[in-house]
Every structure is written in structure tokens, then in C-alpha cells.
Amino acid sequence: MLFKRPRHRIFDYQPRYYNPNEDEKEKRKKRLGFRTTSKRKKRNYLFLIYIALLLLIAFILMKLGEF
């Protein structure tokens, strides 16, 4: 033969353990809006850094305009 024949694909699927109690807890958390605080803190710090940089750039541009 000129070409290779395709072989069957083999999958190693291992089903995860399903715990209905944990599923209910996750649904409840999503419904109530619980989030980790670390993500919010990081966003707040980045937002403050961006504002500080913008103010610094504006201040430098104002000083350059005085000359």
C-alpha cells in the first residue's frame, strides 16, 4: 500500500467524582455573588497605579508647558 491506514483513537477518560452536596454549595455561592477577595484587591491596586501614572503624566506635561 502507498498510504498509512488511520488507526482508532484511544482516549483515557477518567470520570470525576460527583458530589451533589458540593454542587449545591457552588450554585449557592454563585447565586449570592461570593468572590475571592484577592482578585478584587489586585484590580484595585492596578486601578490606583493607572490613576497615579495618569496624574504624573499630566503633571509633567503641565510643567513642560510653563517653560
* CA–CA gap between residue 29 and residue 44 (Å, rounded): 22
List, for residues 26-44, the tens digit of each pLDDT value.
888 888 876 665 555 566 7
Cβ atoms within 10 Å, residue 37: 8
pTM flag (> 0.75): no
* CA–CA gap between residue 30 and residue 33 (Å, rounded): 5
List, for residues 45-62, the tens digit of each pLDDT value.
888 889 999 999 999 998
Measured torsion, CA atoms of residues 23, 27, 33, 35, in degrees rounded to the nearest 10: 20
